[in-house]
Structures are given as C-alpha cells and as structure tokens.
Amino acid sequence: MSKPCDVKLKNYDISEEVGFLLEDPLEKLPEYFEPWNKLSSAMPELVLAGIFREEVKKIPELADGKLANNKELRLAHLQLSIIGSGYIWQDGDKGVPKMIPRCIAVPWYNVSKRLDIQPILSHPSFCLANCKKIDPERPLSLENMKSTYKVPGGDSCNWFCIVTGAVELEVANSLKPILTILNGVQNGDTEVVITNLQNLTSVIRQLKTVVSRMHDNLSSELFYNVIRPFLAGWGGEDSPMPDGLIYEGVENNKPIKALGGSAAQSTILQTIDAVLGIKHKDEKEKFLKLMRKYMLPKHRQFIEDIENLPRQLSEMVLTTYNDELKKVYNSCIESVTQFRSYHIQMVTKYIVIAASKQNSNKEFESLSKKGTGGTNLIPFLKGLRNDTKDTVK
C-alpha cells in the first residue's frame, strides 16, 4: 500500500503560488514605527547626501514587542536591515563605524532572534519579504512586481530585487514536481518519478531564462560599484571590521560577525541538491550549511526534512534497472550543472570583470572579487558545479 510522504508545503510557510516568497508583504508598519518607515524609505537619498548616520542617531529606541505578527516582524527586519546597512556603509570601507547605535541595534537584534535569522541585510528580507504586486488584482510576475525598499541604485536596484524575486517565483513551479518525486521515491513508483523529473528539469532550465533578464536593466558597473557594497557583511580578515560589528546594548557590546547577502542564502538550489542527492565536498558543504542559518527556520527545515527521508532518489537511481529513470535523472543533473555554469557567467560579468575595471569603486576595496557572503567566488562556484556534474549515475 502506498504511503504518502509527510513533507507538506503548508508546514514550512511555503506557498504553492509564490514559493518561498512572502505572500502579499506589508509596505508599512503601524504608526508607532513611523521613524523606521521613514528612515528605511529615505535611506538611498540620505546616504548619497552623506547625512544618513546623523538622521539614524535622532530616532528613539522603539519597542519591538509591539510588532504583532509574522508579517510585521518580516517588514521590521527588512527596514532595520536597510537602515543598518546604510549606517555602516554610508562612507565606504574607510569610514565604517565599529558600532551601530542602540536605537537600531537593540530592536534589530531582537527581531532577528524572534525570526531566528541573522541581524543583517540578507536574502529572506531583501528579496523574499520585499517583492510586492504593483496591481493587486493581477498575479505576481516580473512585470507586476516592485521592491518596496531599496539600497542606493535607483531603478537598477529595483530591477535587481525583482529579477531575483522572479527567480524565486519561477521556483514555485518546481514544488509540485518535487513533492511528487519525493512521494514516488518513498513508494517505489518509478513512472511517477520519471514524469516529474522531466517536469523539474523544465523548470530548472527556465530559471536560467529568468536570471538572464538581469542584463536588461542592470549594468555590471552600477551593480558592482553602487548596489553590491550595501549587501556586504562584517567580520573576517578582509573586512574593514575584522572582529565584527558591535550592536550597542546587545551581548555586552561584544562584536558580532555576519555574512552579507548571497545567492547561497536562497533555499532554491539547496532544495534541488537535497532532492537529487547532490553532495558537496569539504569546505563547500560547510559553507552551504552555514548559509542555512541565514534562511528562515521553516525553509531550512524543509531542506533538512528532505535530506532525512528514509528513501532517497539517488539510491533509487543507483539500484534501478530502468534505463529511462537513469536517463531523466542524469538529464536533470545536467540542467543543474548548466544553471550553475550560467551563474558563474553572471558572477564573472557583474563582479570579477567589474572589479578589474579602472573605474571600479575604490571606496569598497575590501569586497574586491569576494562574494558578499565572504567566499572566493569563482573557485567556490566552480567547485559546486563540478560536484553537481560528478553526481551523474
């Protein structure tokens, strides 16, 4: 008798319609939090004017206990992360403060603890909680999407956010095939697995098409010199804050290290890796596991529960005599390899080549050719791709 797999989307705050994106996120917090509403909205202009830090110091310390529900917490984390990023990076590498004032630090830290994510501008906030319908009567799509909060970069920053959001939206199309594959594997239903591996492969190929839209309205120079610095983290030998950042009034003013926004903080590829049984070696696996701390807890649990299912797709393929199953599995692996290759091309254009140009922003030299998540980018990404390629059965 067939036994359904107990991985259900509703248990993980994942939507059939929009995937890992937050459905209909708030644009503003209640009136009590108006100082956060105003500062986070005005951050790009005030940073460019060089007066953002002074404005931050003027606001009162608000009680995060007044945030009433998950959507308010998600927006608060986004707003405080935008404010924190502007405060830290207003003057580039050379002018970074060692401490962020308690009026921001205390609620930022508390909200992060309540959500169980890190106190930094990261993918769950800047992308997942920041993509809103332009026309509420129409479905969410790249053409019907805006980012509510931005870092400096104007329309290009909006484009960066919504294309990233559109990739997440496309991933929603993979969820039904993924769940059906998991069920098929638990029940030994080869035909179901074959059909849905083909469906999953189609979605993964489409992801590349969506990512390629980034080229339409985002130049590598603007991304590298203007947007990317505000997604950086703190702590580590190459950081202008090697010991981390002091959040005033938090953890006895002991510096906290945090990694910046990174594609590795998206649940997408780690979920696909878990379904297909793609294993990464040594330091790469260690880094990807670390990135899960930057995901929402239910999203990271989704990956872990897939990894811990009693029967795994990779074992099914390894022990099968069905040539068609092996063929479609290997085709799916190949689509992931191609997607990772395309990601390397994007990173080469937007970071590596941009960093080598003479007009690259010298105010943020610490970022150079590293990822905002702190990795030496190209060797790391090539390693992930090679691990994927090696999974072929």
Return d(Cα 279, Cα 388) in angstroms, integer. Answer: 7
* Residue 22 DSSP code: P
CB distance 159 to 215 below 8 Å:
no
* Rounded (10°) CA dihedral 293, 380, 351, 208: -80
Has 215 been labeled as part of a binding site? no
Alpha helices, DSSP H, located in the chain: 34-48, 52-58, 70-89, 102-115, 123-126, 154-187, 190-212, 214-217, 220-222, 268-276, 282-291, 297-307, 313-319, 323-347, 354-356, 377-389
How many beta carbons lie within 10 A of that of residue 167, not counting itself? Answer: 22
Three-state DSSP class for residue 362: helix
298, 11 contact by CB (below 8 A): yes
Distance of alpha carbon 117 from alpha carbon 114, whole angstroms? 8
Structure tokens given for 368: 């150079």
Provide the 10 A C-beta neighbour count for residue 252: 6
C-alpha to C-alpha distance for 342 and 214, rounded to whole angstroms:
12
For tokens 């950081």, name the residue.
239
- Torsion angle of the four alpha carbons 152, 229, 108, 115, in this order, in degrees rounded to the nearest 10: 100
> 17: which 2 tokens?
């319609």
CA distance linking residue 223 with residue 157, whole number of Å: 8
Quote the CA–CA distance of 84 and 161 in Å, as a whole number: 18
Residues comprising the binding site for heme b? 343
Residues comprising the binding site? 343
